A = this chain, B = another copy of it.
Amino acid sequence: MRCITEIMARKKQYNEEDVIEKAMYLFWRNGYENTSVRMLEKEMGINQFSIYASFGSKHGVFVESLKEYRKRNASIFNKLRASKNGLADIKQFFYDSIQKTNDLDYKGCLVTNTYNEFVDSEDEEIKNQMIDFMVALKQIFIEKLKMDTTKDEETVLKQANYLLLAKHGLAAAARVNNEQEMNDYIEMTFNNI
C-alpha cells in the first residue's frame, strides 16, 4: 500500500481500507487461486489499474487482506493473551473463533484455509507468514498450559501441539457451519474421550 503523501493532483475515489475489506471477503469465500483479478475488480468496485497502483499485484492485495483479517480478529487474541485462566482461556478462544464466523455467516477461518492452501506452495512469503502465525499461537497455548503447575514440560508441549492441530478440525467443522457439530467438537477436544 503506497502512502507517499506528495502533491495530490487528483484524489483517489476509493478508500484503500474499504476496498481491501471487500477483497478479504472474496478471498475468504474462494481462496487465493480461485479468486481472479477480474473478480477482485468487481468486488472491490475499482478497476485493475487502481488495484495495481495501490497494491502492486494480486499477491499484494492478498497480503493486505490477510492483515485486515488478522486486525479484525485482534480482539479475540488480545482477550486470549490478557486472560489468566489457563486451559479455560484456550477453550474460550475456540468458542470466540467460531462465534465470529457464525455472526458473519462466512465459513471457516481464513488463516487456516490459507495455511492449507499454501503449506505445500512455493510462495514462501505467505507460507512463512502462516507458519509464523501457527508458531505464535502454539506459544500462547504453551504459556496458558504452563499455568497448571501440575503438568510437566513434555505434557505441555504435547497438549499445545494437539490444540494447535485441533484448529484444523475446527476450521473444517466451521466450513460446513453446523453449530452443534462445532460445539460438540470443542467439548470433545477439551474433554476426555
Q: Interface on A for B, CB 8 Å cutoff?
A: 29-31, 33-34, 87, 107, 113, 115-116, 119-121, 157-159, 161-163, 165-173, 175-176, 181, 184-185, 187-193
**CB <8 Å contact, A173 and B165:** yes
In Å, the complex CA distance between A170 and B176 comes to 19
In Å, the complex CA distance between A188 and B161 comes to 9
Chain B min CB distance to A155 (Å): 9
**CB <8 Å contact, A116 and B172:** yes
In Å, the complex CA distance between A34 and B118 comes to 11
Apart from the given pairs A167-B169, A192-B193, 12 other A-B contacts in the complex at a CB distance below 8 Å: A30-B120, A33-B33, A33-B34, A119-B172, A158-B184, A165-B172, A165-B181, A165-B185, A168-B171, A189-B193, A190-B193, A191-B193
Secondary structure at the A interface, as helix, strand, loop or mixed, is helix
Closest to A112 in B: B172
**22 pairs, A vs B, C-beta closer than 8 Å:** A31-B120, A33-B33, A33-B34, A87-B193, A116-B116, A119-B175, A158-B188, A159-B188, A161-B185, A162-B169, A162-B185, A163-B193, A165-B169, A165-B172, A165-B173, A165-B185, A166-B166, A168-B169, A168-B172, A169-B169, A190-B193, A192-B192
Question: Per a CB cutoff under 8 Å, which of B33, B116, B161, B167 touches A181?
Answer: B161
Complex interface: chain B residues within 8 A of A171 (CB): 168
Complex interface: chain B residues within 8 A of A116 (CB): 113, 116, 172
The 9 closest A-B pairs by CB, nearest first: A162-B188, A192-B192, A165-B169, A168-B168, A168-B172, A158-B184, A168-B169, A169-B169, A116-B116
Chain B min CB distance to A122 (Å): 10
